[in-house]
Structure 1
Amino acid sequence: MYASMGMQACAPSALSSSCAASLRTQCANSSTTTAASSSSAKVLGVDVSSSKSPWKGSSVQDSRSSSSSSRRSRGCCACQASSGSEKASLLQKIGDSVKNCVLCAALAAAVALPQFPVQPSVATESLPGPVYSELGVLIAGPPIKDANALLRYALPISNKPIKEVQRTLEGITDALKLPGVKAIDPVERDVRQASRLINQNKDQILADVAESKKEEARAAMSRLSDGLLEFQSLLEQKDRAGILPKQKECLEYVGQVEEAMVEKFPFEVPAEYAKMPLLKGRAKVEMKVRVKDNPNLKNAVFEMTVDGYNAPVTAGNFIDLVERRFYDNMEIQRADGFVVQTGDPDGPAEGFVDPGTGKLRTIPLEIMVEGEKEPIYGGTLEELGRFREQTKLPFNAFGTLAMAREEFEPDSASSQIFWLLKESELTPSNANILDGTYSVFGYVTDNPDFLADLKVGDVIESIRVTSGLDNLVNPSYKVGGA
């Protein structure tokens, strides 16, 4: 069951909650009713009116969605431009409510100026979530779109020296935007800086490593130091082609050191979910897909990292289903350029029916917010009034892995999963309508580009856990059988 994404609000992400609320109230009360725009609504360059939301269900269920579209339809709220005296009145009202907020005042002025029209509302079904201005995105800064970097930043650790090494090595990607050998010098500076940080802070880095993982971390640190020396030698030879592979290798060692700093699972899962399958850590899985009707690609193999540190219930549910072989020989059920989706089994049920109970197993919406020690359960960030807060696992990377669910039932996810096929320029962190609305629990970390080649009817031959299965607790497949 799908719905298109429409515009709901127009406010910079940097506005305070009180100012933004006041501004929305003034706009709603002062604007005149307008007819719906016939053109597609665009938010930061995304044609949201024609995009599809990853509601629970696949394309084979479209006939059912049409009968309930009127029930799912929601109105939209947007700031609308007025004319003549109405503009002056609107500007006065907005100015009174936001006089102490520079950004709010700037937006208020924009409402009254004809050369900067505010987007009119669009009569379309919409996902819950705010729409942010380009100003808000600029203030937030460029989002991180590399899946492995997102996973490193999502670890529950706080060691500053190793994070500085990580940021320095990740900065090499920006240096490579320079043409030809012009990139060599800034890359070399970053590599030398990373080496200095390792040499100067080795003891401080190892001090935060879990006692049981000291030897593992020391070995990774040694490989990192050797790798950085090899990196410098490569740069002395002006070997630009070897930069990205060596950067990836060194960052893998950094990630190994960082993961060794997590001594135990960082929080208690709420009692109502504590007996469900939980992933208390991370796991890696390999997915093999048989591709049909593509002469250039017969088989695609993906590696995914599933993150239980930030979504233990969601990740545990998925790994439990993988071990049950639930997804084996299941077809891709949706592939529309926006998402790739699967997980709807044959039969009337739209999710996994536990053979031990005969009931549909569902899991709660699970969102880890930046700065929080444990996830938020059972409600979207929009519903909780926290839509401007960043999530630890954002929809930034091509191949972001998340749970599909019923549109207005946040705790209805079961087995249907989807991968996002949009990069962060289209859905920047803290400025999109998916963060805080769906449970993200991992990323495709190897061959994500192949997702774009998948079509409805392609077959998932298998999904297998390659590491981290020991982090799964309360596995139901051992009770109910595979």
Structure 2
Amino acid sequence: MSTIIFFNCCSSLTASKLINPRIPTKGSSFLRTHKSFSWWNRHFLPKCTSQKHVQCQLQNGQQKMRSFSLKECAISVALAAGLIIGMPSLDSSPMAYAANPSLPDLSVLISGPPIKDPGALLRYALPIDNKAIREVQKPLEDITESLKVAGVRGLDSVERNVKQASRSLKQGKSLIISGLAESKKDHGVELLDKLEIGMEELQQIVEDRNRDAVAPKQKELLKYVGDVEEDMVDSFPYEVPEEYRSMPLLKGRAAVDMKVKVKDNPNLEECVFHIVLDGYNAPVTAGNFVDLVQRHFYDGMEIQRADGFVVQTGDPEGPAEGFIDPSTEKTRTIPLEIMVDGEKAPFYGSTLEELGLYKAQTKLPFNAFGTMAMARDEFENNSASSQVFWLLKESELTPSNANILDGRYAVFGYVTENEDFLADLKVGDVIESIQVVSGLENLVNPSYKIAG
């Protein structure tokens, strides 16, 4: 009972770091070295299974909301601590945690609020280094927290955010422009001009005390910021390892719309989920998915897992658990692909724990509700093929790299619109279609164009 509350509230508060497991090399095991955790293997972690701008249409107009009380979270942390203390010793192999640094203090794990907004995660994941644009971005993002304060105080806080962003833009505009890629400079300057005008409009909205208009304008301005930051990326920043270079690769970003027909749900008939795929940090993984989308692999496929922890699909009919490439008549698999802060290229084929990178921060963390990643076999890192999952939890107390998923599964995108409705999906709901709506030009080596 305690561990269930712990998971629901805290999203996955550090199984690997606090409970000393040897990290499994494949995707389904929570603690491979201890039999008492086999229940978690079956119920929580994503694994390959052999189970045989956009509006959602609601019948009652109500959207499901998620919330946790502070009391629940406090209880969960306490229960987690009890679980840690009572945990028997585990694997004594070199990979066991006993050979690793001492357990982190719990205060380290909850020292700061994690970034949970998918748009913000995508902005920070771009391969750029321009402090001036980040100083404009941050106060605009902080408006979300300011709006949680009721009444006049909230708007006063929003006004401070807007003034700070405007000041940063004015002071740092030349540095921002100097950071634009030469081929995209004119477009970037045009966006900055729109951003400047938009912030003046937001300032007027705040002065008029039009609280309802703040969030839509904030979203518009952050879109400008994100587009300016993308204009700072001149070209794909690294070479993919030679053994994967001929595979479908997404060298940049793309976006897809996934339309799902919902069965037996009085609240929801169908929904279109907008998903941004990040090939800068996961070119092989994202490229594989876009290639399958172009083959219409997922069209007509059912949701195959929906248990409150993840929504999963991608297991084709028949004995195969992945995509059979008609040109080879074999299952196409892709390597585990993890990019971390401070590295120029992703790591391939190993989990971060296997690499000894216990404190590494993943560039695409499992922080957001609707984080999209690849499922794989339990004991084989490089076994992902076509099965994908979306996380139905968001990080409350656990920073990235301190949960059971970061560094062990390849994240390659986020649902950025209608992600809340993922929680309404059930096994048997049908993916009517997935369509690439932007960024297809970033796909190289597209196998879907090869006949046979």
Which TM-score band (shorter chain)?
0.7 to 0.9
**Partners of 2:16 and 2:235 in 1: CA distance:** 41
Structure 1 match to 2:241: 270
1:7 is displaced (CA, Å) by 4.5
Contact 1:147 1:397 in 2 (8 A): yes
More contact order relative to length (CA 8 Å, sep ≥ 6): 2
Moved over 4 A (4+): 4-9, 47-51, 115-118, 122-125, 128-133
Of 257, 267, 273, 1:286 maps to 257
Q: Which runs of 5+ in 2 are unaligned?
A: 1-6, 23-33, 53-80, 98-102
The percent identity for this pair of structures is: 61
Q: 1:342 to 1:243 in 2, by over 3 A?
A: same
Residue aligning to 2:18: 10
Which structure 2 residues correspond to residues 355-370 of structure 1 after superposition, within 5 A? 355-370=326-341
The residue aligned with 1:400 is: 371
1:138 corresponds in structure 2 to 110
RMSD, matched Cα: 2.8
Separation in structure 2 between the aligned mates of residue 158 and residue 350 of structure 1, nearest angstrom = 40
Q: How many Å apart are 1:58 and its aligned residue?
A: 5.0
1:383, distance to aligned residue in structure 2 (A)? 1.0
Amino acid aligned to 2:336? L
Q: 1:426 to 1:343 in 2, by over 3 A?
A: farther
Whole-angstrom CA distance in 2 between matches of 1:171 and 1:300: 29
Residue 108 of structure 2 aligns with an amino acid whose one-letter code is G
Aligned to 1:470: 441
Give the Cα–Cα distance (whole angstroms) in 1 for the partners of residues 331 and 41 of structure 2: 33
Q: Is the 8 A contact 1:37 1:122 kept in 2?
A: no
User: Which residue of structure 1 aligns with residue 46 of structure 2?
Assistant: 54
| Partners of 1:383 and 1:37 in 2: CA distance | 21
- Whether the aligned pair in 2 keeps the contact of 1:335 and 1:454 (CA below 8 Å) is yes
Q: How does 1:310-349 map to 2 (within 5 A)?
A: 310-349=281-320
Aligned equivalent of 2:85, options 81, 103, 119: 119
Q: CA deviation at 1:204?
A: 1.3
| Paired residue total | 394
| Gap change, CA 1:7 and 1:211, over 3 Å in 2 | closer
Change (3 A) 1:50 1:124: farther
Distance across 1 between alignment mates of 2:430 and 2:85: 42
3-state DSSP of counterpart to 1:401: strand
Following superposition, the deviation at residue 249 of structure 1 comes to 0.9
CA displacement, residues 123-148 of structure 1 (integer Å, 9 cap, x when unaligned): 999xx997865322134x22100000
How far, CA to CA, are the matches of 2:150 and 2:402 in structure 1?
31
Distance 1:387 1:54, change over 3 A: same
SS, match of residue 224 in structure 1: helix
- After TM superposition, give the deviation of residue 174 of structure 1 in Å: 2.0
The answer on 1:441 being equivalent to 2:377 is no
Q: Displacement of 1:9 after TM fit?
A: 5.1
Structure 1 residue ranges without an equivalent (≥5): 12-19, 25-35, 42-46, 61-114
Tell whether the 8 Å contact from 1:181 to 1:240 is kept in structure 2 after alignment.
no
Matched-pair contact (CA < 8 Å) for 2:341–2:361:
yes
Within-5 A mapping of 1:75-90:
none
Match of 2:62 in 1: none
Instruction: Find the partner of 2:118 among 137, 143, 147.
Output: 147
Which deviates further from its counterpart, 270-279 or 129-138?
A: 129-138
Following superposition of structure 1 onto structure 2, how do residues 21-100 of structure 1 map, counting pairs within 5 Å? 51-60=43-52
Contact conserved, 1:7 with 1:122, CA < 8 A, in 2?
no
Residue pair 1:8, 1:121 contacting (<8 A) in 2 also: no
Cα offset, 1:177, TM superposition: 2.6
The structure number with the bigger radius of gyration is 1
Q: TM-score, normalised by structure 2?
A: 0.82
Structure 1 residues 375 and 178 mapped into 2: Cα distance closer, same or farther (>3 Å)?
same
**Residue 10 of structure 1 contacts residue 133 of structure 1 at CA under 8 Å; is this kept in 2?**
no
Question: What residue identity is the alignment partner of 2:234?
Answer: E
The superposition leaves residues 430-477 of structure 1 with CA deviations (integer Å, 9 ceiling, x where unpaired) of 210100000000000000011000000000000000000000000001
Which secondary structure does the structure 2 equivalent of 1:436 belong to? coil
TM-score by structure 1 length?
A: 0.77
Return the alpha-carbon distance in structure 2 between the equivalents of residues 365 and 117 of structure 1.
Answer: 30
Match of 1:80 in 2: none
Contact (CA 8 Å) 2:285, 2:337: kept in 1 or not? Answer: yes
Question: For 2:434, what is the secondary structure of its paired residue?
Answer: strand
